[in-house]
């Protein structure tokens, strides 16, 4: 009523001078007095079998009553939409918060994996370790071959000194290479900054990222299912019949009011007659 008064001048319409005194509202009427007039002129009925709400608005002018009806219907639609939106936001809000948290955790896991790969400067620590092992095995085979070659030269009674020195030099060079590779292998397999430790950290980061991917996918599915459920529960107001301004005055209903007044006065007359007859009998007795 207050909104209708602010936008359409409900009080001003019923305070016009040409309205009869019974229906007219005082110019300085309070909101409570105006609401009584509002309650008399705005009638709401509900049919539970069909779920239809019927509204009838009375005013001094038929066009004004139709406009009042249209405004009240728009207010009801806004209220229903607001309630539905609030209910939908409450249902979807928790799921979206969980999704946002899952996205944040997944982003952190991905950033950690990239940071580990950048810090180690090696994308595949396990491949580096396997490569070192392969090189060590290759050079150890060469070392064994050179040692066998040296033994064969030394078996001669008068070995060729140049060949013996050359083979010994080859053995020293291969031994130094193996020693250097073993040092790299030791550095790669021990310590906090080793490739082995770095490989384990990367594997843990990859497993964490895979877990976060599954949790993110689950959160996305939960959001979609919650939205579908919320959309199925949305309430809306449909106007089956648009407000129509009457061509003839609906109120006051002269015939109905005349019959009602006749019945009321007949009842009063009957009650007075019975009371009078009872009093005469008591006086005569």
Report the CATH number that the domain containing residue 223 is assigned in CATH.
Answer: 1.10.287
Q: Is the peptide bond before 252 cis (omega within 30 degrees of 0)?
A: yes
Please, what are the averages of pLDDT over each run of 10 residues along the chain (285 residues)? Answer: 92 88 85 92 88 88 91 90 79 80 87 74 62 86 87 80 85 88 68 60 83 87 80 75 77 73 91 88 76
276, 175: one domain: no
Distance (Å, whole) CA 271 – CA 279: 12
112, 226: one domain: yes
Does 205 reside within a domain?
yes
Instruction: Determine the Cα angle at 64 with ends 73 and 27, to 5°.
Output: 110
Q: How many domains does the chain have?
A: 2
Does 19 reside within a domain?
no
pLDDT of residue 52: 87
pLDDT of residue 121: 47
Does 60 reside within a domain?
no
179, 259: one domain: no
pLDDT of residue 20: 80
With beta carbons less than 8 A apart as the criterion, state whether 10 and 4 touch: yes
pLDDT of residue 71: 93
End-to-end CA gap in the chain: 61
pLDDT of residue 251: 66
Does 258 reside within a domain?
yes
With beta carbons less than 8 A apart as the criterion, state whether 108 and 215 touch: no
pLDDT of residue 1: 92
Does 196 reside within a domain?
yes
pLDDT of residue 278: 85
Does 155 reside within a domain?
yes
224, 257: one domain: no
Domain range for 260: 253-285
DSSP state of 24: P
Distance (Å, whole) CA 101 – CA 7: 45
Of the candidates 233, 245, 232, 240, the residue with the CA atom closest to the CA atom of residue 73? 240
Cβ atoms within 10 Å of 201's Cβ, excluding its own: 18
pLDDT of residue 190: 54
DSSP states of 153-215 as a string?
HHTSSS--HHHHHHHHHHHHHHHHHHHHHHHHHHHHHSSTTSHHHHHHHHHHHHHHHHHHHHH
Does 112 reside within a domain?
yes
Does 124 reside within a domain?
yes
pLDDT of residue 272: 92
């Amino acid at each position: 009523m207050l909104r209708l008064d602010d936008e359409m001048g409900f009080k001003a319409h019923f305070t016009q001078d040409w309205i009869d005194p019974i229906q007219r509202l005082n110019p300085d009427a309070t909101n409570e007095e105006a609401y009584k007039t509002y309650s008399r002129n705005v009638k709401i009925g509900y049919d539970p079998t069909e779920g239809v709400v019927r509204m009838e608005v009375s005013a001094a002018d038929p066009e004004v009553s139709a406009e009042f009806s249209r405004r009240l219907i728009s207010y009801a639609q806004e209220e229903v939409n607001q309630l539905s939106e609030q209910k939908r936001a409450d249902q979807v809000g928790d799921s979206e918060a969980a999704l946002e948290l899952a996205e944040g955790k997944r982003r952190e896991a991905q950033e950690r994996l990239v940071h580990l790969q950048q810090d180690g400067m090696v994308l595949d620590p396990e491949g580096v370790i396997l490569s070192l092992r392969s090189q060590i095995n290759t050079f150890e085979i060469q070392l064994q071959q050179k040692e066998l070659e040296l033994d064969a030269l030394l078996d001669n009674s008068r070995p060729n000194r140049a060949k013996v020195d050359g083979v010994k030099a080859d053995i020293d060079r291969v031994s130094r290479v193996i020693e250097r590779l073993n040092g790299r292998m030791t550095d790669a397999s021990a310590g906090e900054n080793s490739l082995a430790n770095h490989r384990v950290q990367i594997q843990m980061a990859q497993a964490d990222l895979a877990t976060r991917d599954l949790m993110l996918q689950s959160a996305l599915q939960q959001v979609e299912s919650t939205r579908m459920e919320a959309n199925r529960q949305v309430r809306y107001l449909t106007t089956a019949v648009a407000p129509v301004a009457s061509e003839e005055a609906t109120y006051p209903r002269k015939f109905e009011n005349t019959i009602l007044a006749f019945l009321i006065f007949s009842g009063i007359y009957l009650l007075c007659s019975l009371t009078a007859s009872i009093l005469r009998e008591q006086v005569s007795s």
